[in-house]
Chain A
Amino acid sequence: MVRYILERLVYMLITLLLIATMTFFLMKLLPGTPLSAADKLSEEQQAIVLEKYGLNDPLPVQYFNYITGLFQGDLGLSFQFDNREVTTILLERMGPSMTLGAQSLILGTIIGVLLGLMAAIYHNGVVDYGSTFIAVIGKSIPSFVFAGILQFYLGVQWGLFPVALWEGWEYTILPTIALAIFPIAIAARYMRTEMLEVLGSDFITTARAKGVNKFGVVFKHGLRNALIPIITIIGPLAVSLMTGTLVIENIFSVPGIGEQFVKSINTNDYPIIMGTTLFFSFLFILIILIIDLLYGLIDPRIRLTEGD
């Protein structure tokens, strides 16, 4: 097991290196220069700035310098914010995004799974139709519409929660709910379908024949067998939620990474683009590893045996 994880970590490093290389060269193909006000600077001044950031070096040299820096944990300095380390900016911006992402993922998955389970237990009944309705709504209406509705009713009309900004935990409530709608819809739909299929299998009949009641069958025998597909979709969902969404962060004025990422692309802030991309990739690969380990935990047939 330990060997397996170590092996996976090595592969992870190789993957990250490849991603860094590809992003580096693709980014250089972006139109425009990192100089935000190029027209206001004299040619001489421009040359000095480009020289300072090493942008005049040949591309292979720039690449080599970047990768060496990377191995020393140095992501470089931001072009946009003078002399600020990319690492510092990322850490600062990641906090709010990851908080919102993690909260909405946990909330969304729990509610979604429960909704799906209820729908499967009361198959073709009112609960089932209700849960399907919620799932369809959650999947088809974009989150910024919910954000607006939540802000208006819960924030402005009833004054329950702060409408926007980022000044404490209560400020996370509305954006968390707005972000959670999508995972709720996805989890509910998958859970319902998967549970219905599992409930139709022979071993459920065996369990019923043992005298296990309706709920026991669902929770003791069904749930674990129905979880695998849910886990599979939750991985990518977790990444997209935790890497922040531009729209939600803008609506709620959250100083998150999503907004920062878009801004840095528009201004050709190479080090930030690189840093963010690498961080997102790292998160993604890490979550895939966690999911693979979770599979084994849930289903003994996928479990790795010692020495394999």
Chain B
Amino acid sequence: MDNLLEVNNLHVSFDTYGGEVKAVRGVDFSVKKGETLAIVGESGSGKSVTTKALMGLIPSPPGRIKEGEILFEGKDLTKMKDKELSKIRGKDIAMIFQDPMTSLNPTMKVGNQIMEGLIKHQKKSRSDAKKRALELLELVGIANAEERLKQYPHQFSGGMRQRVVIAIALACNPKLLLADEPTTALDVTIQAQILEVMKDIQKEMESGIVFITHDLGVVANVADRVAVMYAGKIVEIGKVDDIFYNPKHPYTWGLLGSMPSLDSNDDELYAIPGSPPDLMHPPKGDAFAPRSDFAMKIDFEQEPPMFKVSDDHYAATWLLHENAPAVQPPKSVQTRMKGTTQESAGGDGV
């Protein structure tokens, strides 16, 4: 099956007074129809910048796409003018934003905000657009839709606003949905509902989803494949089971290790030591090496290439080189990797 989206060697930089900040430094991934790719990583790893670049929404200046291509249905979005892009935005590619409190226009009725894209892209009349808006509000689970359309965002709660943000993104049945931490600002019960809504819609419309999050619990719930980002690069990418049960990169180990587990008897929660590198002066070699317990000499000198683990599992770490010593992931990660059957047994051992 052909890829809906293909990102090749994407570089995004921001020109600041202090110098060039290389926020995204060569990212490759692809998304198929009906597939969900989750991008995980800590703050500042370039997740959001990557999705904004896909939409052509990097504020410029100071930001710019330095290199690389973004192929959407075979067409390169980086070569398009803003005018062409705005015909794709909201229609074929839509985005769900992170913060429901600030993502809606406070002085515009919610109905008009949902209808805006419909009127623009599908040339619908106001009454047709309104019918569709009602449908959308019901779809995302907002009761009293007729009444709600006439209200302003401040009359909605946070969870309800996020549903509106989602309704706006879904308005034109987009082929590709970019969700930038769509549930981070919500409490857990609402989070689950929203995720269900997104899954249902994906099933119905066969859309591809790029799901950005730093919540690994959400990843396990929604993703088909996972890309782990660190310091502007993808360090490991694979099927969701590969990442959870056969992770290869020390950074992935660190992320999984710092996820609290119900069975763990540890008093202390593991945290990755140190902080992410300064992207104005990215380190030589493996960017994660200074924080890694498993760093080797070569990690500080040469950047690791993507090593193939299986057909759809790749990781950029020298540990996968044939000359590298065999290293086992930390114990807490190993217990997790063994899966649910042995998890309780592993609990006492750690």
Q: Which residues of A contact B (CB under 8 A)?
A: 124, 200-203, 205-214, 220-221, 224-225, 298-301
Interface range, B side:
20 to 34
Residue of B nearest to A301 (CB): B154
Other-chain contact of B105, A124, A200, A211, A221 (Cβ < 8 Å): A221
Query: Shortest beta-carbon distance, B2 to chain A, in Å?
Result: 24
Given that A214-B82, A300-B107, A301-B154 are known contacts, is A208 also in contact with B102, CB under 8 Å in the complex?
A: no
Query: Shortest beta-carbon distance, A298 to chain B, in Å?
Result: 7
Q: 4 extra interchain contacts, Cβ-Cβ under 8 A, other than A203-B105, A211-B86, A224-B108?
A: A206-B95, A207-B116, A213-B86, A300-B107
Other-chain contact of B102, A202, A209, A211, A299 (Cβ < 8 Å): A202
Please indicate the chain B residues that have their CB under 8 angstroms from the CB of A299 in the complex.
106-107
Residue of B nearest to A298 (CB): B107
Which of B99, B104, B108 has the most C-beta atoms of chain A within 10 angstroms of its own C-beta? B108
Q: List 17 A-B contacts (CB under 8 A).
A: A202-B99, A203-B104, A205-B57, A206-B103, A209-B55, A209-B94, A209-B169, A210-B120, A210-B168, A211-B89, A211-B91, A211-B120, A212-B86, A221-B105, A221-B108, A224-B108, A225-B107
Please indicate the chain A residues that have their CB under 8 angstroms from the CB of B103 in the complex.
202-203, 205-206
Other-chain contact of A206, B104, B120, B152 (Cβ < 8 Å): B104
Determine chain A's interface SS by DSSP, over half rule: helix
Q: Which residues of B contact A (CB under 8 A)?
A: 55, 57, 59, 61, 82-83, 86-91, 94-95, 97, 99, 102-108, 116-117, 120-121, 152, 154, 165, 168-169, 171
Contact B90 A211 (CB under 8 A): yes
Please indicate the chain B residues that have their CB under 8 angstroms from the CB of A213 in the complex.
82-83, 86
Query: Shortest beta-carbon distance, B261 to chain A, in Å?
Result: 34
Contact B89 A208 (CB under 8 A): yes
Residue of A nearest to B59 (CB): A200
Please indicate the chain A residues that have their CB under 8 angstroms from the CB of B88 in the complex.
211
Bound: A300/B82 CA distance, A: 32
Query: Shortest beta-carbon distance, A174 to chain B, in Å?
Result: 38
Bound: A203/B55 CA distance, A: 15
Bound: A213/B84 CA distance, A: 10
Contact B168 A206 (CB under 8 A): yes
Contact A205 B107 (CB under 8 A): no
Please indicate the chain A residues that have their CB under 8 angstroms from the CB of B97 in the complex.
202, 205-206, 209
Please indicate the chain A residues that have their CB under 8 angstroms from the CB of B154 in the complex.
300-301
Which of A207, A209, A213, A301 has the most C-beta atoms of chain B within 10 angstroms of its own C-beta? A209
Bound: A301/B61 CA distance, A: 33
Bound: A203/B165 CA distance, A: 10
Please indicate the chain B residues that have their CB under 8 angstroms from the CB of A203 in the complex.
102-106
Bound: A14/B3 CA distance, A: 73
Bound: A208/B95 CA distance, A: 10
